[in-house]
Structure 1
Amino acid sequence: MKIRTFIATASLVASGSLVAFSGSAQAALYTTCVGDGGAVTVSNDLVVPAGKSCTLTGTRVKGTVTVEAGADLVAAGATFNGAVTVEENAYLDLTDTTVKGALTTDSAFGTHLEKSNLKAVNVTEGFIYAVDSTLGGNVNTAAGELYVSGSTLNGSLTGADNQYSDVYDSTVKGALTVEGNALGGVFCASEVYGAATYSGNADNLQIGGEGVLGSCAGASYFGGNLSVTDNTANSVLDNTIVRGGLTATGNDPVLVVGELTRIRGAVTGETAAAGSSGSARKAAPQDRGADLAERAAERAAEARADAHEAGKSRL
């Protein structure tokens, strides 16, 4: 891989290479990536320029990583010691990768995390699709799409004003908050050890069990209180243990509680038994993860093709 250092007033990018440059003699050095990069160490910050594509395999970046507007970064087996920022309509795809700083996206196309380790995650618009990953800090998402599967979250998880917030086969060690989701959410075969809140959601809301969004074979567990309030969604709670109390107020239609649900604490508000007249359900869409997987795979394939066309970096 060619790495060149410049003191210049304008960006200089060589096709298929990593190029390090500084905007002035006083400014911090950083490296731009266009093309395919391998197992090297970048000692400063790394930038994927706007509209360009970069793929990294086994690369270590000691500084921050920025994926500029419309750009793509696909990394496997990489380590990023600093924060990662993903800008408007940009895409981030990480496999077997560690991010030691916070991940922040703002109006990005989306983020796909697989078998990766991250700390705090903050997403505004765009999707986040996390599979078999460990998220060490709080995860906050807003105005996008949230899908978590087979993952461990050591902090809290928040899905606010998303299209939907779906959690499958995952553990949330902090609090769970799902509020204002236009297409509701799914909680399937998962565990939450902090307080859990579902509020102001529409369309369909499935918390465990067989429900409006399909089948969920495994049981779910809430270690604290569960609050399901002020939802206009068709809401179902089933095949779930709630160690604390359940609050179910202001829901229209009322929350349907299945026969496999066990609530250890007090129940406040109105609920309906499964099969009652108040539990009419709409036709269920398919698992939304399949759609996100397809969109992520398509964008990643385009990014790899663009990076390959830009040129193979030489070590």
Structure 2
Amino acid sequence: MKIRTFIATASLLASGGLMAFSGSAQAALYTTCVGDGGAVTVNNDLVVPAGKSCTLTGTKVKGTVTVEAGADLVAAGATFNGAVNVEGNAYLDLTDTTVKGALTTRAAFGAHLENSSVKGGVTATQGFVYAVDSALSGSVSAESGELYVSGSTLSGSLTGVGNQYTDVYDSTVKGALTVSGNTLGGVLCASEVYGAAEYRGNSDTLQLGGEGLLGSCAGATYFGGDVSVTDNTANAVLDNAIVRGGLTATGNTPVLVVGDLARIRGTVTGETAAAGASAARSAKKAAPQDRGSDLAGKAAQRAAEARADAHEAGTSRL
């Protein structure tokens, strides 16, 4: 792996038209990664330079990890003690990896997490977040992208705002769930939400448990608090679900359909409709559209390209 360590110095301060040193110079140590790296410890920050690719296997990084614009980082069995930042059109792929800090992506191509843990929360703006069989502590928030979570445990809240969709399968959300302004709606399938759940201002399709236009959902869904489904212009269905709190369903066009297998323990406010035979037939005819397969394809292609680029760059002892 072509790894180089740099010392960057700072800083100059402008005041009243004069340039002056402000205090003593600060030294920052960082390591660049281009190519394939193995089971070593990086004692400082690690940077994948813009447009380059880095693969890490069993690597430990004590500082911050930054994937610069257009770069790729594919890691397996790694440990990152600090934060991970992913910049514009960059890609992050983590398998069996632990991130002890926060994960932040800004206009990235995407982030794929599998059998991994992020302890400092996840914040994404644009791009996709695709989390499978992972443990996500802190809050998870995605805006203006695609959010797909499967087989995972989230210890905090989950928020999807202005995305194409926010889909959650076979997962546990211990905090609140908020899905708003998603153009293709969202799915909540065979999952548990222990905080309040809100679906507001979404379009296209909302499937909260049961069968719907996005296919069949095996397994019941559980809401530990109140559920609010409001101001959506989406075909919305709530079925095969237990709601321990109340249900608010106002301003939806069409109205929220509540299936025969939905159990609502609290008060129902607003307008709902029972699932009719025609709606059931339409749901069964609809081909399942699990959007995870599309994301898996995108992630696999980008990761394969990154591995090829990294392999071409070569390897070296650290």
TM (norm. structure 2) is 0.92
- Residues 308 and 184 of structure 1: is their aligned pair in 2 closer, same or farther, counting only changes over 3 Å? same
Q: Kindly tell me the number of residue pairs found equivalent between the two proteins.
A: 300
Aligned equivalents of 2:291, 2:278: Cα separation in 1: 28
Does 2:315 correspond to 1:299?
no
- 1:175 corresponds to: 176
Aligned equivalents of 2:106, 2:161: Cα separation in 1: 14
> Secondary structure, in 3 states, of the residue corresponding to 2:188?
strand
- 1:35 corresponds to: 35
> Secondary structure, in 3 states, of the residue corresponding to 1:214?
coil
- 1:312 corresponds to: 315
* Runs (4+) off by over 4 Å: 276-285
- 1:82 corresponds to: 82
1:279 CA displacement: 8.7
1:51 CA displacement: 0.1
- 1:10 corresponds to: none
Aligned equivalents of 1:313, 1:214: Cα separation in 2: 49
1:22 CA displacement: 1.3
- 2:101 corresponds to: 101
1:277 CA displacement: 7.4
- 1:5 corresponds to: none
Instruction: Structure 1: give runs of 5+ residues left out of the alignment.
Output: 1-15
Task: Show CA shifts across 1:224-272 (max 9, x none).
Answer: 0000000000000000000000000000000000000000000000000
Supply the AA of the counterpart residue of 2:315.
Answer: K
> Secondary structure, in 3 states, of the residue corresponding to 1:26?
strand
Aligned equivalents of 1:295, 1:69: Cα separation in 2: 18
Aligned equivalents of 1:313, 1:147: Cα separation in 2: 36
Instruction: Structure 2: give runs of 5+ residues left out of the alignment.
Output: 10-24
More strand by share: 2
Aligned equivalents of 1:113, 1:167: Cα separation in 2: 14
- 1:91 corresponds to: 91
Q: What's the % identity of the aligned pairs? A: 79
- Residues 278 and 200 of structure 1: is their aligned pair in 2 closer, same or farther, counting only changes over 3 Å? farther
Task: Show CA shifts across 1:259-305 (max 9, x none).
Answer: 00000000000000001778996855621000000000000000000
1:27 CA displacement: 2.4
- 1:269 corresponds to: 270
Does 2:276 correspond to 1:286?
no
Aligned equivalents of 2:214, 2:27: Cα separation in 1: 52
Does 2:5 correspond to 1:20?
yes
1:313 CA displacement: 2.5
TM (norm. structure 1) is 0.93
